[in-house]
């Protein structure tokens, strides 16, 4: 059973389009995250949700909007895609939002904007 799953795995689209990435976890965790990994492999947190509530919102353009319909799902919608949005986006989850919680990552979604 896949613990944290993301769809799609690959996404190729043109500038200006709107796209969504879906994430689901079956671990019963309370907290979910979105990370962006750039071409140099640098990982940066974008958002985190705890029990459907937004708790971390890093400096991310307003074009990115997360939505958590329930605590097992966290989707990421991106409007007006730009070339700089090309990256691998990782979803993750953790049992709580505590200092010690290890995070479980999904397989990533490679977004390519042309």
Binding site for other proteins (CB under 8 A): 40-45, 48, 55-56, 88, 90, 92, 97-108
Q: Minimum distance between the CB of residue 38 and other proteins, rounded to whole angstroms? A: 10
Nearer to other proteins, 14 or 99 (CB): 99
Let me know: does 25 contact 32? Beta carbons within 8 Å: yes
Q: Minimum distance between the CB of residue 14 and other proteins, rounded to whole angstroms? A: 24
Nearer to other proteins, 70 or 102 (CB): 102
Let me know: does 96 contact 32? Beta carbons within 8 Å: no
Best CA proximity match to 91, nearest among 40, 39, 29: 29
How far is it between the farthest Cα atoms of the chain?
Answer: 40
């Amino acid at each position: 059973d896949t613990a944290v799953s993301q769809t799609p795995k690959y996404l190729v689209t043109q500038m200006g389009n709107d796209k969504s990435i879906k994430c689901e976890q079956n671990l019963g965790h309370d907290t979910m995250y979105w990370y962006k990994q750039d071409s140099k492999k640098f990982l940066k947190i974008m958002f985190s949700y705890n029990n459907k509530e937004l708790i971390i919102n890093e400096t991310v353009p307003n074009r990115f909007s997360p939505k958590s319909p329930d605590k097992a799902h966290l989707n990421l919608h991106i409007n007006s895609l730009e070339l700089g949005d090309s990256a691998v986006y990782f979803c993750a989850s953790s049992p709580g939002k505590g200092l010690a919680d290890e995070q479980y990552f999904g397989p990533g979604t490679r977004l390519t904007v042309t």
